[in-house]
Amino acid sequence: AIMRQCLADQWVQDHLSNIIQRRVALEVGLLIGRLGRSGKDNILFLARTPFQDGAAAVTEPGQGKGLRLDTEWISEHASQVTRMLPGGVAVVGAYLVAGSGAFQGVAAALCGLAKALRVDASDDSLLLHVDATTG
């Protein structure tokens, strides 16, 4: 993985602070912004992936089974959001709010999701993990 510098709009920073303050334990969504050619990316908005048929896109079944990530629904959400965005702005990745242990359990699925979300074949998608236990 290549190290990239991301610049976040103040709204994004405030939203992440709000998630931490509200002690949100589990949330998944899309990173909206622009990928910079010089390695400086801009994150403009976080779009939480909505429930589908009453089910969240990320759930914790319990009994130590780890997280269940509905990558198909998250990808569909990304497609729908992409159609609504103006030129120059795109879905550039995904974010996950979860404890670090839970994150490790779905890291491979998130990497697969990141590949599916690529703006074009030459770009990498971004993944943002917000540790729900430590902020």
Q: How many CB atoms lie within 10 A of CB 90?
A: 23
pLDDT at 112: 82
Task: State the chain's mean pLDDT as an integer.
Answer: 83
**How far is residue 72's CA from residue 66's CA, in Å, rounded to a whole number?**
18
pLDDT at 126: 85
pLDDT at 101: 76
Q: Are 29 and 130 in contact (CB under 8 A)?
A: no
Band of the pLDDT at 80, cuts 50, 70, 90? Answer: very high
pLDDT tens-digit series, residues 39-48: 688 999 999 9
> Mean pLDDT throughout 70-83?
91
Which residues neighbour 60 within 8 Å (Cβ) at sequence distance 6 or greater? 26, 66, 67, 68, 102
pLDDT at 50: 92
> Mean pLDDT throughout 24-50?
88
| pTM for this entry | 0.86
pLDDT at 9: 87
> What secondary structure letter does DSSP report for 57?
S
Question: Per-residue pLDDT for 6 more than 90?
Answer: no
pLDDT tens-digit series, residues 94-129: 998 888 777 777 878 888 887 777 765 556 788 888
Strands 58-59 and 68-69: antiparallel
The more confident residue out of 135 and 113 is 113
pLDDT at 122: 54
